[in-house]
Amino acid sequence: MRIDIISVVPDLLASPFSHSIMKRARERGLLEVNVINLREYTTYARAQVDDYQFGGGAGMVMMIEPLVNAVESLQKETKYDEIIFLTPDGEQFNQKTANNLSLKNNLLLICGHYKGIDQRFRDHFITKEISIGDYVLSGGELAAAVLTDAIGRLIPGVLNDESSALSDSFQDNLLAPPVYTRPETFRGWKVPEVLLSGNHKLIDEWRHEQSIKRTQERRPDLMDE
């Protein structure tokens, strides 16, 4: 899978895909991530990519021309399944969307900045608009990193134990159960007996019960879905 990300602050995306699972996914050739500097596609002086908004008002708006130059140049090489704009007014990102997007071959993510991007670009080029939550970030880069990580780890072969993505929180609308590791006792706090029993049927049942309990307590809204 290939994920291209257009940004005016590419340095912000230098590290998130260079460690741990994302690093391994790239090294195995399962995930390719390219960060494209929008400023390389502007014809305006001093690498300008934003301008004052028509109608007045505070805040700059990203201009359509550099964005179109960048997208059309990339499209010469790659046919994108989705061109996604990260924006607080997009549809809320969740595990279901991550699952769906992980089945695609090529994604292009556009990171917004300032007051937003010219609406004409949204109207004519964007195929999907996604928010990672009801709060406003300084730009779309961290949201793009969240999407790439959540999608990338679902690509078959990325996680060592393939079933481990299936047992994540949210995969079946349930939160994951508690987990424990050595030592069996720390300051008198004991690991639940059942986990030491070696009885996998009992362990599975216990985990399922714990998942339900946790979801009822913390996210009853998930149980309704």
The residues binding ligand ADE (CB under 6 A) are 86-88, 112, 131-133, 135-137, 140, 143
Residue 165, both tokens = 């993505």
Please report how close the Cβ of residue 134 comes to ligand ADE at its closest, in angstroms: 7
Please report how close the Cβ of residue 123 comes to ligand ADE at its closest, in angstroms: 18
Please give the helix or strand (H or E) that residue 38 lies within, else none.
none
Say if strands 32-37 and 2-7 run parallel, antiparallel, or are unpaired: parallel
Q: What is the 3-state secondary structure (H, E, C) of the chain?
A: CEEEEEECCHHHHCCCCCCHHHHHHHHCCCCEEEEEEHHHHCCCHHHCCEEECCCCCCCEEECHHHHHHHHHHHHCCCCCCEEEEEEEEEEECCHHHHHHHCCCCEEEEEECCCCCECHHHHHHHCCEEEECCCCCCCCCHHHHHHHHHHHHCCCCCCCCCCHHHHCCCCCCCCCCCCCCCCCCEECCEECCHHHHCCCHHHHHHHHHHHHHHHHHHHCHHHHHC
> How far apart are the C-alpha atoms of 98 and 150, rounded to whole Å?
6
Of 94 and 197, the one with the shorter C-beta distance to ligand ADE is: 94
Please report how close the Cβ of residue 113 comes to ligand ADE at its closest, in angstroms: 9
Of 7 and 210, the one with the shorter C-beta distance to ligand ADE is: 7
Of 98 and 158, the one with the shorter C-beta distance to ligand ADE is: 98
Of 114 and 170, the one with the shorter C-beta distance to ligand ADE is: 114
Of 5 and 158, the one with the shorter C-beta distance to ligand ADE is: 5
Please report how close the Cβ of residue 53 comes to ligand ADE at its closest, in angstroms: 17
Please report how close the Cβ of residue 94 comes to ligand ADE at its closest, in angstroms: 13
Please report how close the Cβ of residue 139 comes to ligand ADE at its closest, in angstroms: 6
Of 66 and 88, the one with the shorter C-beta distance to ligand ADE is: 88
Of 135 and 189, the one with the shorter C-beta distance to ligand ADE is: 135
Please report how close the Cβ of residue 165 comes to ligand ADE at its closest, in angstroms: 23
